Amino acid sequence: MNCNHCHSPFQVTDEDRRILNIFDVPDPQLCFDCRLQGKMTFYNRRRLYKRKCDLTGKDIVSVYSPDKPFKVYNVADWYSDKWEPMEYGQDFDFSRPFFEQFETLLSRVPQNALAILGDNENSDYTNDNYKSRNCYLIFDGEQAEDSYYGETFVYLKDCVDFLFLYRSENCYECLSCENAYNLKYSRFSKNCSDSWFLKDCSSCRNCFGCVNLNQKEYYIFNEPHTKEAYEKFMAEFDSGNCQVIQAMKQKAEALYKKYPVKALRGVQNVNVSGDEVNRSKNVFHSFDCIDLEDCRYCTDCLMGGKDCMDVHVWGGGMEQCYNDLLIGVNIRKILCSIYVSHGASEIYYSIWCLQNVQNLFGCVGLRQKQYCILNKQYSKQEYEALLPKIIEHMKKTGEWGEFFPPTISPFAYNETLAQEYFPLSKEEVQQKGWTWSDYEVETRADRMVQAHQLPEHIDDIPDDILNWAIVCEISGKPFKIIPQELKFYRQNQLPVPRRHPDQRHLDRFQLKQPYRLFDRNCDKCQSPIQTSYAPEREERIYCEACYLGEVF
């Protein structure tokens, strides 16, 4: 069949229908890319604004810009008993499409300023995280301490500038690394420590500029050295100098190109199709996931799940869920919903419903409730009689099984994750009938400094830099350095960045593989393989057997 949006062909298999049948939903009408894009239009992960809380009038930080036309409450107030979401309840109208009715409810119920699920400490400028302490501008993760400028993580301490980092400490500029300690400028490496510029390394320590190494120590650019020679090299390595770092980075990148790449990254898998999937079984076309079983088309689910399909972000006791965004923690049977968590079960088309909610349809902002439709309370008997009628109505309108349309998202397209994964111009967005935001946050400082005017060495950076605005060398956007960040650079002898945090994130994002698989042949044995590397890419791509034969 062909996608209703992009018209590209895609398949719906019997294994897909095994999960679709849990909810008695029809085959999806959109391809994987378009389904994921639609969900991402509801996910503002990293755009933060200052505004007023509409309940208390106090200054707050929020993912909703001040020009948004609906009420936004501070996190603590949103979770409090100072307001009642059930007061916004409305009857279901069988003469109108469901999405139209839900948009009305969504616009009336106050929104949570930030997606904070649990107690954070001294981490006001963060979003979509849980149990963070002394953190700044980190997003999409769980349990971090003294960490800054990163995205998608679990269990971190003293980490800066990262993307997809898992159980790590004292790391800088790392991408898709796990169980790392004191790792700098590295990517796609596991169980490594005290090393710099690693790529696709495993269980290495005291290595520099290396690729495809396993259980090695004292290697420099893939060549073995004595302990004394390595220590001499590191003593002469002036890591605090920006030009030295750039030279070493270029040398490492040149070395990486000489070595083959594994078609798909992942370990301890059985019958898995996808990239960066680990410790999983019977998983199809999924990416950046851990501990999945019998799942399909899942992305960024780092906490595990079972019998799920088309879920983007989270997991953790997640079972029988379809077409959802940001769900997790002991949940079951969640359909086409956003931010549903902590003991929820049998929740359909709902947003921000959590804390042991059950049997909800089309609800917003409910906690510890059951048998509600559009935020209106029903008895168990009334709910069970009305729900099948609503489902039948949605089947007739073509809505049942489809995710919320981007037209009702509370965010502009360029505020959301969709712009990162599926970038569009303002004109293209508006042609689709979606919204675009021109709202800009002003950066104020005593002095504006061009990036190239900064001292080259961290030892020459004055304390007064905390009062400056640095103009990004790529985007031209000004940014500031915070005290904790400067302390980290000085302690680790690292140069001050010349690029805006958003640009640094974009640089890391462009190094990760797309959520896409290509058919091609192994560049060594010529056997057919699937890989996230497009055929026109210059890397040598090996099947798993050939790659392991070369590395081990």
Q: Give one DSSP letter per residue of 263-324, joined into a string.
A: SS--SS-EEEEEEEEES-EEEEEEEEEESEEEEES-BS-TT-EES-EEEEEEESSEEEEEEE
130 pLDDT band, cuts 50/70/90, is confident
- List the end-to-end C-alpha distance of the chain, in Å, as a whole number: 43
Which residues neighbour 97 within 8 Å (Cβ) at sequence distance 6 or greater? 397, 399
Q: Which residues of 39-48 are buried (b: 16+ CB within 10 A; e: fewer)?
A: bbbbbbbbbb
One-letter amino acid for residue 274 of the chain: G
**CA separation (Å) from 288 to 280, 304, 459, 523?**
11, 11, 38, 25
pLDDT of 118 above 90:
no
Rounded CA-CA distance 380/40 in Å is 34
- Distance, in Å, from the CA atom of 526 to the CA atom of 51, rounded to the nearest integer, reads 58
Which run of H or of E encompasses 450?
strand 447-450
What percent of the chain stands above pLDDT 70? 100
Is the confidence at residue 402, as pLDDT, over 80? yes
User: Which pLDDT value is given to residue 550?
Assistant: 85
- pLDDT over 90 at 444, yes or no: no
Q: What are phi and psi of 371, to 5 degrees?
A: 60, 55
pLDDT given for residue 184 in this prediction: 98
Does residue 103 contact residue 69 with C-beta atoms inside 8 Å? no
pLDDT mean over 503-509:
97
Residues 474-492: what's their mean pLDDT?
97
Residue 442 pLDDT > 90, yes or no?
A: no
Dihedral sign of CA atoms 544, 546, 547, 552 in order: positive
Query: CA-CA distance, 182 to 354, in Å (whole number)?
Result: 37
- Long-range contacts, 328-334 (Cβ 8 Å, 24+): 328/303, 329/303, 333/22, 333/23
Element containing residue 478 per DSSP (H, E): strand 478-479
Question: Does residue 406 surpass a pLDDT of 90?
Answer: yes
Longest dimension (CA), the chain: 80
Q: Is the pLDDT of residue 300 over 90?
A: yes
pLDDT in tens, 7-44: 999 999 999 999 999 999 999 999 999 999 999 999 99
What is the pLDDT confidence band of residue 551, given thresholds at 50, 70 and 90? confident
